[in-house]
Amino acid sequence: MSEQTLITVKDLSVSFDGTPAVKNISFTVQAGKVLALVGESGSGKSVTARSLLGLSGGTVTASTLDICGHDARSLSDRAWQKIRGNTLSLILQDALMALDPLRPVGREINDGLKEHTALKSAERKQRVLEVLKSVRMPEPDVRAKQRSTELSGGMRQRALIAQALVGNPQVVIADEATTALDSQLTALVLSQLRALKQQGRGILMISHDLAQVAHLADDIAVMRHGEFVESGPTQQILEHPQHDYTRKLLRAVPSSVPRFTALSDLGAEETTSPARKIQDSEQHSPALSVKDLSKSFGKHLAVSSVSFELPRGKTLGIVGESGSGKTTTARMVLGLEKPDSGTVELLGERFAPSTASQRQNLREQMGAIYQNPLGSFDPRYTVGQLLTDALSRGKSKRASEYRKPVTQLLEQVELSADLLARNPRELSGGQRQRLAIARALAPEPSVLVLDEPVSALDVSIQATVLDLLDRIQLETGTSYLFISHDLSVIEHMSDTVAVMHQGKLIEHGDTASIFGSPQREYTQKLLSAMPRLR
């Protein structure tokens, strides 16, 4: 059965002001099939996608650039406008920003129709509602009048997909369409894409995560520094990768990787019985003991009667969707929110940091790592100043007596001492997170609360950070409260797991049991949506 080739690309090169971003790549997109372009940030995959729409912003050359019969190498602006949205369309990553927050989503979708059809206003309205129904938007007529900021995450995603479909395109380009979405939304997007595939459209998926594309893609092309490192059918790439880089990407996926097995080259040594500083955790009181925590915001019950324990030197993973209450729980544990009821015990002592005398000492035992570390840094401080401030308990920013401990901290997180004078803004995402870890470790805490620490990182960078966290735990015996929506990360990093849904702790147990034989229906549902590589 010969598939119809929709897009043929040969020797595509894109450069910006003389600097090449994409070098001589070739691929095809076929009807009813999915091609995935996988690579890290800066690999040129997004540039490639955009040049298919003529929106790369750079100089594009190719020996063949055939888009559904149009020779796209020499299209005028006008001609491009006719193709865009019509023959091929784009689904971007962030639904909140990809839809104009000042306009109702119905209008955004309507625009596509205005461009490409001669339908009258009433007919267009009808079409908008139809396409919203096709993406299963609840109450489409109400939602069409709302703006993206007024819609929930799921509805926004659907609106985003709808606006790409309204022109009935033959090819759909999904640029990081599932990155940074929780599992529910990811499953939603993937199922929509699957439906599109079955309708006979061609799909180009851009992603940094092999696990996401593994089930949907027919072919995978791995990109690095603007070139294809390897390409071929999915099965072949996943099971018999030829290139080192491909192997590195595969190795970085935490899905089904056992605890303490390295995901990257910087990883901890593989040990079957890791030596930990704290011996018998049963002898001492648990690192954290949380009983019946509850919190309401107005009428909304965010957290309801949550209890768990974190044994010393171990990791408890809390997993849930957005809105499940996991972040609020973390904030109560950290003492940033006052619980309506319930207690938090740190190392056997009541953790109620409102008593000023206890505050400094108690708090030092517990550190926090956020999803976006930049927001937690004072924008005026350099790397060195941040760490000095942390070590000196806020008394000093730039004392030379702290030089040595600062350098030691940097070593611990594998950051070069060259970075001391830089502002965190200039660092990459991975480096910033390492800096955040270094700062959190400065007071030598017993517990680290990590709220989505790797969700904003590329899979390969994520792997290095996770390995770092493992190594630190092995060296120092710090206990981790690890919060994430990403099930494969939780599975890899946790000794015990707690599943949260709508404020309640649904299921709690050791990792193997939860992931192997989930008891509750919600957990089962959650696990079934998890993209597995192996």
Partner 1 sequence: MSRTAKICCLLVIGLWLLMALAPSVLAPGDPLAINPTQAFAKPGLAHFFGTDESGRDIYTRVIHGAGDSLAIGLAATALGMGLAIVLGTIAALSPRWLDEIILRILEALYAIPSLLMALLIIAFTGPGVGPAIVAVGLSTAPGYARLVRSQIRSLKNSEMLEAATVLGRGTWRKSRNHLIPNALKPLLALVTLGIGQAVIWAAALSFLGLGTPPPAPEWGAMLSAGRTYLHLAWWMSLFPGLAIVSVAVSATLIGRALGGKVKSL
Partner 2 sequence: MNTLAWAGRKVGGALVVLWLVASAIFIAIQLIPGDPAEAIMGGPGSQASAQALAAARAEYALDQPVITQYLLYLGKLATFDFGTSYSLKQPVTQVMGEVLPNTLWLSLMALAAAWLLALCFSALAMRAGRIGSQVGNLLEIIAAAVPHFWLGAVLIMLFSSALGWLPAVDNGTGHGLVLPILTLALPLAGFLTQLMRDSLSEAMGSQFALAARARGESRLKLFWRHGLRHATLPALSLTGWAFSSLLSGAVVVEAIFARPGLGRSLLSAVLARDIPMVTGIALFSALVYIVVMAISEGIERMINPAGESR
Which of partner 1, partner 2, none interacts with 487 (beta carbon under 5 to 8 A by kind)? none
Task: Please name the residues in contact with 197: beta carbons below 8 A apart, sequence gap of 6 or more.
Answer: 32, 33, 34, 203, 216
The nearest distance, CB 92 to partner 2, in angstroms, is 6
Give the residue, chosen from 6, 60, 72, 83, that forms a contact with partner 2 under the rule CB under 8 A: 83
Cβ-in-10-Å burial (0-12, 13-18, 19+) of 341 comes to: exposed
User: Among all chains, which residue has been given the structure tokens 């298919």?
Assistant: 52
Q: Which is nearer to partner 1, 333 or 419 (CB)?
A: 333
Give the residue, chosen from 3, 71, 101, 348, that forms a contact with partner 2 under the rule CB under 8 A: 101
Which of partner 2, partner 1, none interacts with 356 (beta carbon under 5 to 8 A by kind)? partner 1
Beta strands in 31-126 (DSSP E): 34-38, 59-61, 64-67, 70-71, 88-91
Which of partner 1, partner 2, none interacts with 367 (beta carbon under 5 to 8 A by kind)? partner 1
> What 3-state class would DSSP assign to 520?
coil
Q: Which is nearer to partner 2, 99 or 487 (CB)?
A: 99
Q: Is 106 in the site for partner 2 (CB under 8 A)?
A: no
User: Among all chains, which residue has been given the structure tokens 């900021």?
Assistant: 149
Q: Is 75 in the site for partner 2 (CB under 8 A)?
A: no
Which of partner 2, partner 1, none interacts with 83 (beta carbon under 5 to 8 A by kind)? partner 2
Cα-based distances in Å from 444 to 66, 234, 314, 341:
59, 45, 16, 29
User: Among all chains, which residue has been given the structure tokens 């570390």?
Assistant: 373
Cα-based distances in Å from 226 to 34, 178, 207, 379, 424:
21, 22, 14, 33, 27
Q: Which residues bind partner 1 (CB under 8 A)?
A: 334-336, 356, 359-364, 366-368, 370, 372, 375-380, 389-390, 393-394, 397, 439, 443
The nearest distance, CB 281 to partner 1, in angstroms, is 24
The nearest distance, CB 102 to partner 2, in angstroms, is 5
The nearest distance, CB 457 to partner 2, in angstroms, is 20
Q: Which is nearer to partner 1, 336 or 421 (CB)?
A: 336
How many Å apart are CA 160 and CA 132, to the nearest integer? 10
- Within 10 Å of residue 456's Cβ, how many Cβ atoms? 17
Q: Is 90 in the site for partner 2 (CB under 8 A)?
A: yes
In sequence order, what DSSP letters do the residues of 122-134 get, joined into one string? Answer: HHHHHHHHHHHHH
The nearest distance, CB 362 to partner 1, in angstroms, is 8
What one-character DSSP code corresponds to residue 56? S
Count of CA atoms in the C-beta half-sphere (13 A) of 486: 27
Binding track over 166-195 against partner 2, x by CB under 8 A = -x----------------------------
Dmax over Cα atoms in the chain, in whole Å?
77
Q: Is 118 in the site for partner 2 (CB under 8 A)?
A: no
Residues from 45 through 74 that contact partner 2 (CB under 8 A) = 50, 53, 55
Q: Which residues bind partner 2 (CB under 8 A)?
A: 50, 53, 55, 77-78, 81-86, 89-90, 92-94, 97-103, 108, 111-112, 115-116, 147, 149-150, 163-164, 167
